[in-house]
Amino acid sequence: MTPQAQRDILKKHGLKVTAQRLAILDYLITHETHPTAEMIHQDLPMISLATIYNTLERLVAADIIIVIDSLSDGKRHFDYYGQPHYHIVNTQTNAIIDAENFDVAPLLAAARQASGLNITGFHIEVYGVSPEDAR
């Protein structure tokens, strides 16, 4: 994604474009590692940890990124949600895996039918362990 496209995302969501916001957004777009704030700070030490936390909260509030609360490590992981996908969390290794291998349209249609609401988004996490560890 181009720097201009990243600027446009921030503007579209009513956020002021700052160097720190651009750096953090670019990091999340280019790193599919589902980092914590501390992990981002390790790679972007020129940005204070407080600024990283504040920026992440603003990006979440603007629906640009999402939070994945890991049950296994108790930390908040962040993900740029540019393409609809769901997450599979290995509860033993804390690995968070992106997956796009099913059509969510039937689920969204069922949710719309059950609630009468226009569904505007979704966030799905599936948890599991390796077959060897499940024994």
Per residue in 36-94, pLDDT (tens digit) is 999 999 999 999 999 999 999 999 999 899 888 766 678 899 999 777 778 888 888 88
Residue 22 has pLDDT above 90, yes or no: yes
pTM: 0.77
DSSP letters spanning 60-112: HHTTSEEEEE-TTT--EEEEE-SS--EEEEETTT--EEEE--S--HHHHHHHH
Quick one: tokens of 119? Answer: 């569904």
pLDDT score, position 89: 82
Residue type (1 letter), 62? A
* pLDDT for res 135: 62
What is the residue-averaged pLDDT of the chain?
A: 89
The owner of tokens 């969390």 is 89
